[in-house]
Structure 1
């Protein structure tokens, strides 16, 4: 039985997830995180896309990607095959780095777009890796809260859902324990 084809159209936005094979670590040290982001930028040069948010966890990744002209399968195939080659070479092993096919949930509403952003950024806190989200270095969250440039992301669309000061309202939206509706965040 063949796999179901992924829905794609120019501008399609996805919550991408991928896990290390057998839940193994994808990132063993800081240079691995840097390499993943470097490969991501290189791939973006061939297959332009917009990255709205990301969180690289020890054994899995979350990306919020908006496509432009290229199918998500082309973007992810290039990104993950190149990272797998890097990691296998570094570890002097062969075989799968990622467990199965990456997940790609289509994001079609503003509410879901924001919920995915919140979910991605809350990952290190929910996994008890940090006490404060701002402490996790392998996420786009610190740049959102500090209102600083992160060359990997475009925060324009996310910020567009909030009134000024957008970075503080976004922080409140993400960090509030009880989920705030999108309308309350404005």
Structure 2
């Protein structure tokens, strides 16, 4: 059986998820999370893309990326192959670290970008890791709601239609979803491949 081709183009914004093999943890300690984030930064320099938001959960990852010139497969393969070797060496394992191929869903407009980013940032709350999204250390939420510079994420697209005080407005948008418990997004489907 052949794989479906993943369709991508320059300027496409994708919600990418990947899970640990057999739903096992991808990250076991602080250094694991830090290593993955350092690989994201290296990948941005090697195969430039825009990272709008992210969340690294213990057994899966969420990335919202905008493609510039390089295929998402090339970007994710670079990060995950290096991370997989690191993880297997550190924990004396062999075999796949990530389950199957990554999944991706095309984000078609700003509203969908806001909803998906909110969903990503509320993941640690929904899974009861933390009571508030800003309490979770391994996501871009704190960066997005602050005025501090961040070399990893690009906030401008999210801020796009928010006007003045975009940090406060984004926080309000996310916290509104938290109050009404509106987490549901359509199930991730494996988007057309490369």
* TM-score (norm. length: structure 1): 0.93
The equivalent of 1:63 in structure 2 is: 63
The equivalent of 1:157 in structure 2 is: 157
Structure 2 regions of 5+ residues with no counterpart?
A: 183-194
**Partner Cα distance (2:132, 2:147) in 1:** 17
Give yes or no for contact 1:140–1:150 (8 Å, CA) kept in 2: no
What are the equivalent positions in structure 2 for 1:13-28 lying under 5 Å apart?
13-28=13-28
* TM-score (norm. length: structure 2): 0.90
The equivalent of 2:83 in structure 1 is: 83
Indicate the RMSD between aligned Cα atoms, in angstroms.
1.0
Residue-by-residue CA offset, 1:72-131 (whole Å, 9 max, x unaligned): 111111111111011001011110000111011011112111111111111001111101
What are the equivalent positions in structure 2 for 1:1-186 lying under 5 Å apart?
1-176=1-176, 177-178=179-180
Equivalent residue of 2:15, what SS?
Answer: strand
* CA-CA distance at 1:20 after TM superposition: 0.3
* CA-CA distance at 1:46 after TM superposition: 1.4
**Partner Cα distance (2:157, 2:63) in 1:** 15
Moved over 6 A (4+): none
Give yes or no for contact 2:50–2:153 (8 Å, CA) kept in 1: yes
Aligned length: 179
The equivalent of 1:184 in structure 2 is: none
**Partner Cα distance (1:7, 1:76) in 2:** 15
